[in-house]
Structure 1
Amino acid sequence: MANNKSAEKRILTNQRDRLRNRFYKSSVRTLIKSFFKELQIYKNSKTPEGKEKLRKVLSSVYSLIDKGTKKNVFHKNAAARKKAKLAAYLKSA
């Protein structure tokens, strides 16, 4: 285990950061899955309400990705790539 006070602190901060990273990454994955589910529903029905719901889900995904980027969970280019890919899927619908 830790031999000094700074090593003990590093263990605690690493644990805190690991939990934060896991929260953001799993939440983004879950929201992306719900985005694709809504996208499939919209492709089948093509209703304005479906499009609005799709935009709302996309907005929440963007928000969480941006917050994760601000906290250094995602690299800025990786975040931009994820957002661009989702926007392209929306555009193709």
Structure 2
Amino acid sequence: MGRLWSWFSSLSLIVKAIIALLAVLILIFLSPLWFFVSILALFVVGIVLVVKAARGRPLRSWGIVSAGCFALLVTYCSASDVARKIAGCAPG
């Protein structure tokens, strides 16, 4: 991982921006898959939160994870809707 990071950090800012843009576009096109992964992760985190609360354990770190899963869910759901509207295949 160290060599990959040093390679990436040695790239110019424009190349990094292009790589980031391509990654976002790939994630938008794969948003149905990421939507499913986000739902699954949110379900698992919800179960962990309930178990931790029942045992009286701290919930802070898992609360942050659940907020991240929810943010991913909203992001990829809205990105998918925007992509459909741009493509002209909006429902309704």
Q: TM-score range by the shorter chain?
A: 0.3 to 0.5
TM-score (norm 2): 0.45
TM-score (norm 1): 0.45
Name the structure, 1 or 2, with higher relative contact order (CA <8 Å, separation 6+).
2
